[in-house]
Structure 1
Amino acid sequence: MNLEQLTTRLRNEVTAAGILRQSGMFRHSPRALAAGARGVGQLGPFGGLPAYCAAVHSGVAIIDDRGELTFAEFARRTNKLANALRTELRGKTGRPSIGIQCRNHADALVTLCGAAATGARVVLLGSDFGPRQVAAVSEREKLDAIVYDAEFAEAAAAFDGPRWCAWYDGEQPDDALERLIASGDDAVPPRPTQAAALVILTSGTSGIPKGAPRGEPKTLMLTAGLLQRIPLRGNERVLLSAPVFHGWGLLVAVLVLMLGSTLVMHRRFDAARALDDLARLECSTFIAVPTMIRRVLALGDAVRSADLASLQIVASGGARLDPALVAQVQDVFGPVLHNLYGSTEAAYISIATPDDLAIAPDCAGRPPVGNTVRIADANGVALPAGTEGRILVRTPGQIEAYTDGTSRSGADGFLDTGDRGHLDSAGRLYVAGRSDSMVVSGGENVFPEELEIVLHAHPGIADAAVTPVEDAEFGQRLRAYVVRAEGVDIDEATVRAHVAAELPRSRMPRDIVFVETLARGSSGKVLRHTIEELRETHA
């Protein structure tokens, strides 16, 4: 790091400290903060999170489908699990690796923090993973144990080692995580011999996801950057519907607990229940992916009649947010929408505030403190504002390399997101689409995402996905899979007329296929195997 980079880093850290102070992160007594800091110092940021929270906060930390967990109970439960894991995995050579395949519930976070308190390498397995993915990831990441929800029993069984079931319905199984926790001592665990690490897996269900490893955060910018754009505060209730095993949901979960607010979580998303939670629990914040927000708005009159006076923030991440949905949220909820653009490899990259979206509803916002975005040509040369190119980024949360040793970063430290887009004169980022999904049609570059946005804007279309397919004459063509809205008998001619009114002729899909549903993963993206099955069915 040269002198200029060091100066910039110090300046950014000072800015970040100011943002954290403004958010109320340091509003507690010096004695409480010192006690919390000791917990983090002994067990690390993730392992010490429950101890920190118990030292500086009182009240309810988490509400899930089983009930409530106070901050003190969160800390005791984590301590007991950490000590039990130390006993169970005693004799393992090197740092233990523990996989977690759980949906949103308190014990998913207890497991993450408890495993981290032992100095483990924690690998977050997606809810979309089947036996093949679990087996491959377990071997590559050298897992020593897995904690899973009962619905993932078949996938978890692909791992030949200790397994504990965190969530189950009915009678308690022999491998229940509850039994393991009950066997542990609730004393604060000893300092681990090495720092914990976290591995978040890239999205995808067709191939084997890559592992994006992160050590313990050594900068204030990772938390401050998000708070700079999304003003989370303490002593509130936050409905977290985005999955905690993805970076978006996990970062919010940690910040909410650090600030002393209550996390409201359910294992499965249900739009009606989400709306009820927002009103009944007077939630100030709704953290979701675009599909979830769209399903809540689809409740129609129930949304407009709900008492949502406490709702100040609707934050979307994990997938692209289309302008039609932005307009709907602004109309129904007011100027509360925030849009986060990020990736597994870089964490969050830019965040659009309500002011940004009021001016440019199709933008991904601006990079917060510590983040740098560069638009470059094929050779890595920076391009001026308004010119489309590859989106390269440098962020405090980006990885150096995948767990298999490969990397997407250049010698200058900029990471290639795999997306294309441009910056405007105000520094707002616009994402055109994935570089690898671009189709050349009529001599023009066409992105399926652009067509998907237009399709979603039609009131007779409940869902849509666009993908390139092989074409004997043109090499590739666009095919749109469309789900009709309930009670609407929209036809192909209507869809084509709608697209023709919004996009150039080169964007018109050659095929329009009506389907009953499009299965989406927890991040809101259409599952890869769903598209592959549709391609085979409608070849």
Structure 2
Amino acid sequence: MAQYTLGTRVERRIPKLEVYRQLWFFLKKMRARKLLDSGGKGELKKDLANIRRWGGLEATIMARGARQVPDRVALVDDDGELTYFEFFRQADRLARAFHQRGYHSGANVGVLALNGRAAILPLTARQMAGYNIFMINANASATQIEQYLDFHDIKVLIVDEEFLPRITPTARQREIILGHLEPEPVETGSHDGRAYESLDHVIYCADVSLSLPEKPAKSMHVVMTSGTTGMPKGVVRRQLNSPQGFASVAAAIPLERNMDVLLTAVLFHAYGWAYMGFSFLTQSRVITRRHFSPEQVLKDFRDYDVTMWVSAATRIRNVMSYMDQIGCNHHDGLKVITNSGSPLLPVEIEQSAEKFGPVLCSMYGSSETSAVAVAGAQELVDDPQLTGRIYPGCVVKIFDEQGHELPEGEEGIIAISCFDLFAGYTDPSIEADTINGYYYMGDRGVRRGDRLYVLGRADDLVITQFAEKIYPVEIEDEILRDERIADAHVRGVKDQQTGQALRAYVLTKEYVEPDEIRHQIRTRLSHAHVPRDIIYVSDLVRGPTGKVIPRELPEPTEDNQRPLQVKPSA
């Protein structure tokens, strides 16, 4: 029997006055940037009616688009194009089909699908039918998926056909619906040659005479964290009547109506989902692909005149590296690149400006929060160390290890609260980490006025034999300034003599001696920053948000501490 909870267990430490201040700030910025077309009193009345019925997110946003710009293309994915009218009609039919099958009033629906309509349509239909949606990380193992489905009593799973081999016999003891179909069936069966019914078929066969409830059950959105062992945590997102948590983004980033948005951030994380919703709110065209490749990104840039690219650090790095490989020094046309999940290093921010112009913006947050701090493009150019500015609706505090709040300018632990802070974890045995009631972000940093500087993960802080606090990111930044090095990752490891030592993993383009790397770091930083170990790797495995996966890192051997490349002959 499932023991999950979707109830609110994390309280917001934010005054109501601050919430109203954020809403006013959001509306003011939206109006100043002309991001919304009110459509007059009649349209506003319809919007308010839908907000009361469904809340203020996807269903209301797409209904608005279907009324105001029915023929504009809303979505381009691997399965084709959908206009705003077509998209809303399909979401409506899916809601009716699921309601007819009993997936409503708090039923739990799981989605294991990559970027595209198989993920976005269920996210929109949930508010119309009243089911809860669980977005499953596509990197989860078969065992994790099975445990997650059972623990949360998920009644139906929408799964891209390519993931069927990861769905165990136990996990299949519920209704399975295929999202994206492969050119050839992964498993054959009785349903048009497929093992299971497809999402397209569910939508096509919907009984359109069935009426949806005037006031559906409150739908919850659960995001699956990137757990490496055991069952990953389920993060319960609050149902909100307003997208005002995007106020900081609307203030810092030069968004426009009717943009062409390339979305390579994944939709099973909150970051990709949030920007998808905001893109639809501004009635833009969203281009997204199930699988990422730098070649496809550059092709989409050209084919769709992309003006905004929503991505993550690892994918931005990959595209810039690919551009170097093919001799492409610059691409014009982008007005905005957004990054979140993990920061780009100062050297990478400089490289981005060279290749795309000063358009890179950065957002700091997590699956549990909204955008805690946002840095606009010019702010990052002027101050590459900046994480972002703090805007109304978010409270950021810096504490010491004893829980005492520190004055401005002192380094400590970052804790926050915000309007759209998560409601809690689905496992009632897991409590959110808090400090004096504020959510612990797991990072250390400094606040100077409304500017936040994140220095690194609290767990990554290394105290060396020199008794100095070292954050690996500053060493990574210095290593990557050598053009012969393609990627780097630095972390603290145990040391018998000093307690902790530094280890650097490097991916090289050309032959580079370990002593050369150490000399550069010693010269540009200090003796305390020099890694004890330098490990040469052929790849650094990163997750969708750009964070290196620790379990994929090798231990030192005699072979991997020698340069991989052979010295060029004279």
TM over 0.5: yes
What are the equivalent positions in structure 2 for 1:89-488 lying under 5 Å apart?
89=102, 95-157=106-168, 159=171, 160-171=173-184, 173-175=194-196, 176-186=198-208, 189-191=212-214, 193-298=216-321, 299-300=323-324, 302-304=327-329, 306=331, 308-309=332-333, 311-405=334-428, 406-408=430-432, 410=434, 413-424=437-448, 426-442=449-465, 443-485=467-509, 488=510
Counterpart of 2:95 in structure 1: which amino acid?
A
Aligned Cα root-mean-square deviation (Å): 2.5
Change (3 A) 1:214 1:316: same
Give 3-state SS (helix, strand or coil) of 2:82's partner: strand
Contact (CA 8 Å) 2:127, 2:216: kept in 1 or not?
Answer: no
Aligned residue number for residue 511 of structure 1: 533
Distance, in Å, in 1 between the alignment partners of 2:242 and 2:54 is 17
Counterpart of 2:221 in structure 1: which amino acid?
L
Of residues 520, 524, 539 in structure 1, which corresponds to 2:542? 520
Distance, in Å, in 2 between the alignment partners of 1:340 and 1:459 is 27
Distance, in Å, in 2 between the alignment partners of 1:208 and 1:466 is 27
> Alpha-carbon deviation of 1:152?
1.8
Question: Could you report, residue by residue, the CA deviation over 1:354-408 in whole angstroms, capped at 9, with x for unpaired residues?
Answer: 2321221021111122112111112322222331100111111212422223333
Give 3-state SS (helix, strand or coil) of 1:375's partner: strand
Aligned residue number for residue 37 of structure 2: 27
Contact (CA 8 Å) 2:51, 2:241: kept in 1 or not?
Answer: no
Counterpart of 2:495 in structure 1: which amino acid?
D
Counterpart of 1:503 in structure 2: which amino acid?
L
Give 3-state SS (helix, strand or coil) of 1:358's partner: helix
Give 3-state SS (helix, strand or coil) of 1:286's partner: strand
More off after superposition, 247-256 vs 208-217: 208-217
Distance, in Å, in 1 between the alignment partners of 2:94 and 2:219 is 15
Distance, in Å, in 1 between the alignment partners of 2:77 and 2:243 is 29
Question: Could you report, residue by residue, the CA deviation over 1:228-279 in whole angstroms, capped at 9, with x for unpaired residues?
Answer: 1123221120111111111111100001011100001011111122122223
Contact (CA 8 Å) 1:37, 1:52: kept in 2 or not?
Answer: no
Aligned residue number for residue 83 of structure 1: 96
Counterpart of 1:318 in structure 2: which amino acid?
G
Contact (CA 8 Å) 2:21, 2:393: kept in 1 or not?
Answer: no
Distance, in Å, in 1 between the alignment partners of 2:541 and 2:17 is 48
Q: TM-score, normalised by structure 2?
A: 0.87
Question: Could you report, residue by residue, the CA deviation over 1:321-346 in whole angstroms, capped at 9, with x for unpaired residues?
Answer: 11001111122222211011111112
Residue 49 (1) aligns with residue 61 (2): yes
Change (3 A) 1:142 1:444: farther
Distance, in Å, in 2 between the alignment partners of 1:273 and 1:410 is 42
Normalized per residue, the structure richer in helix is: 1
> Alpha-carbon deviation of 1:123?
1.1
Change (3 A) 1:219 1:34: closer
Aligned residue number for residue 73 of structure 1: 86
Contact (CA 8 Å) 1:222, 1:396: kept in 2 or not?
Answer: yes
> Alpha-carbon deviation of 1:20?
2.4
Change (3 A) 1:245 1:119: same
Change (3 A) 1:272 1:346: same
Give 3-state SS (helix, strand or coil) of 1:167's partner: coil
Gaps of 5+ in 1: none
Contact (CA 8 Å) 1:206, 1:529: kept in 2 or not?
Answer: no
Give 3-state SS (helix, strand or coil) of 1:257's partner: helix
Give 3-state SS (helix, strand or coil) of 1:137's partner: helix
Counterpart of 2:85 in structure 1: which amino acid?
A
Counterpart of 1:46 in structure 2: which amino acid?
E
Distance, in Å, in 2 between the alignment partners of 1:334 and 1:507 is 32
Q: TM-score, normalised by structure 1?
A: 0.91
Contact (CA 8 Å) 1:237, 1:283: kept in 2 or not?
Answer: yes
Contact (CA 8 Å) 2:238, 2:423: kept in 1 or not?
Answer: no
Distance, in Å, in 2 between the alignment partners of 1:229 and 1:95 is 37
Distance, in Å, in 2 between the alignment partners of 1:411 and 1:468 is 25
Change (3 A) 1:409 1:396: farther
Aligned residue number for residue 18 of structure 1: 28
Contact (CA 8 Å) 2:147, 2:231: kept in 1 or not?
Answer: yes
Aligned residue number for residue 511 of structure 2: 489
Give 3-state SS (helix, strand or coil) of 1:430's partner: strand
> Alpha-carbon deviation of 1:440?
1.9
Contact (CA 8 Å) 2:345, 2:473: kept in 1 or not?
Answer: no
Counterpart of 2:120 in structure 1: which amino acid?
L
Contact (CA 8 Å) 1:204, 1:527: kept in 2 or not?
Answer: no
Question: Could you report, residue by residue, the CA deviation over 1:508-534 in whole angstroms, capped at 9, with x for unpaired residues?
Answer: 211111111112222122224313x55
Question: Could you report, residue by residue, the CA deviation over 1:425-456 in whole angstroms, capped at 9, with x for unpaired residues?
Answer: x4321111111222221222223333223223
Give 3-state SS (helix, strand or coil) of 1:357's partner: helix
Distance, in Å, in 2 between the alignment partners of 1:349 and 1:283 is 27
Distance, in Å, in 1 between the alignment partners of 2:499 and 2:295 is 44
Distance, in Å, in 2 between the alignment partners of 1:75 and 1:220 is 19
Contact (CA 8 Å) 2:36, 2:257: kept in 1 or not?
Answer: no
More off after superposition, 157-166 vs 357-366: 157-166
Contact (CA 8 Å) 1:164, 1:177: kept in 2 or not?
Answer: yes
Distance, in Å, in 1 between the alignment partners of 2:453 and 2:230 is 28
Distance, in Å, in 2 between the alignment partners of 1:477 and 1:132 is 35
Contact (CA 8 Å) 1:117, 1:189: kept in 2 or not?
Answer: yes
Distance, in Å, in 1 between the alignment partners of 2:411 and 2:378 is 23
Contact (CA 8 Å) 2:238, 2:420: kept in 1 or not?
Answer: no
Give 3-state SS (helix, strand or coil) of 2:100's partner: helix
Change (3 A) 1:138 1:457: farther
More off after superposition, 201-210 vs 404-413: 404-413
> Alpha-carbon deviation of 1:296?
1.8
More off after superposition, 490-499 vs 43-52: 43-52
Give 3-state SS (helix, strand or coil) of 2:179's partner: strand
Q: Which gives a bigger RCO, structure 1 or 2 (Cα 8 Å, sep 6+)?
A: 2
Contact (CA 8 Å) 2:362, 2:387: kept in 1 or not?
Answer: yes
Change (3 A) 1:55 1:327: same
Gaps of 5+ in 2: 1-10, 186-193, 562-570
Distance, in Å, in 1 between the alignment partners of 2:441 and 2:227 is 16
